[in-house]
Every structure is written in C-alpha cells, then in structure tokens.
Chains A and B, each alone.
Chain A
Amino acid sequence: GDSVTQTEGLVTLTKGLPVMLNCTYQTTYSPFLFWYVQHLNEAPKLLLKSSTDNKRTEHQGFYATLHKSSSSFHLQKSSVQLSDSALYFCALSTGSFNKLTFGAGTRLAVCP
C-alpha cells in the first residue's frame, strides 16, 4: 500500500535560519502530495499541495517541489520565524475520495 516517510521527528532551529523538512513517499499510482501544518491546539491546515512533477509550489514563504524520480516532496523555507513553530505533516493521495496517507509528522521548534 501507499506510505509516507518523514525522517525527522523534531527539528530545532534559531529564528532566521533556513529549514528543510524531508518527505518521501511510496506508491504505484499517480501521486498528489500535500503539506499540512498543525499549530498547538489547532486543527491541521493545508499549507501546500502539488501533483506536477518538478514544479515548485509556494505559500506563506514555504515552498516544495515534487520530484517523482526520487519520490520526494521536501518542505523548505529560507528564513524561519517563531510563528512557524508547529507540527508539519506530509500526506499522499492517489485516488478518488481524497483519502490521505500521512507521514508521522515533524515538529519544528523555532527559538529566539
């Protein structure tokens, strides 16, 4: 079946530094990839999505490029802010019904 791997459980950074959160996936179908962000005590919200190979997608300073050749969809930001501290989920959808397969999540902690 489908799977999503996020290798980092916790990433701790100082404000202003760049960040990359890793996401790789496995599927035999055509993939749609998503990044959802969950701030403390809030609902997960969509941050980015893509199904186009090798095209960068951006939102709120975050960006990601789907690379089907390497089955990756890493999330990046050039300069993190304190407000970026949250739990980030990579998710995969391959068929109808918008069903998502989530990775385990990466907690990003930004320090002053």
Chain B
Amino acid sequence: EAAVTQSPRSKVAVTGGKVTLSCHQTNNHDYMYWYRQDTGHGLRLIHYSYVADSTEKGDIPDGYKASRPSQENFSLILELASLSQTAVYFCASSDPPRHSNERLFFGHGTKLSVL
C-alpha cells in the first residue's frame, strides 16, 4: 500500500503567524496535491505539483504557498495564518494519468486550528 505521511498531525497557530505543513511520500509518485477539508465543502484543491521544483495553483490558492523540493516532499506554507484557514489539510500523491485517471493516495491529514 502506498504511503503518504503528513506532519504534524495537528497544530494550533496564532493569527498572523507562519505555518508549514509537510508531506512525504514513498510511492515514487510524480504528482502531489494539497487539499483542505471543511464541513459541507468536501475537499478542495489548494496547490499541486507534477515535478520537483515546480508547483501549480489549484482552485483555492489564495493565502497559501507550496514548495516541492524533491519528488518525495511537498510542503504547504501559510505565511500569515488567518482564522478562515482553520481546517483539515490532506496531502495526496498519484501516478500520472495513463489510460485513465489514476487514484490518489491520501495522508491521514493535519488538523490546523488558527486562534
């Protein structure tokens, strides 16, 4: 089974502070993603990457930056955390689409509370 590890599992941050969420995968996957989960909204894509040293904006990138320093690692950065960024954040990885779109392998999530 593919492995995606997120750290920390939970975090409390202060408004205006900087937060970094980390993700590490051992699947040898080229594609990695950051989603946030809010009650009533499902999961929404923040940033994604299909190659190291390159990131792309997803559907809700405002207030977030991403960094992909290697194939295995993908970080999500909140430079100035705000109350509205309180959510559960999921990292995922996948193979590139071939004959059909590939399944995503998710980490266990990071619960972020901004106070």
Contacts and interface: CB of A to CB of B under 8 A. Distances in A.
A55 B42 CA distance: 26
B44 A46 contact: no
B40 A104 contact: yes
A70 B43 CA distance: 24
Interface in A3-56: 4, 6, 9, 32, 34, 41-46, 49, 51
A63 interface: no
A98 B42 contact: no
B100 A32 contact: yes
A69 interface: no
A104 B41 contact: yes
Contacts of B31: 97-98
The size class of the interface chain A forms with chain B is: 20 to 34
B90 A43 contact: yes
Given A43-B90, A43-B108, A43-B109, A102 B103 contact: no
B50 A97 contact: yes
A79 to B, nearest CB: 26
Contacts of A45: 106
B76 interface: no
Nearest to B49: A97
B104 interface: yes
Contacts of B4: 43
B40 A98 contact: no
A44 B43 contact: yes
B111 to A, nearest CB: 10
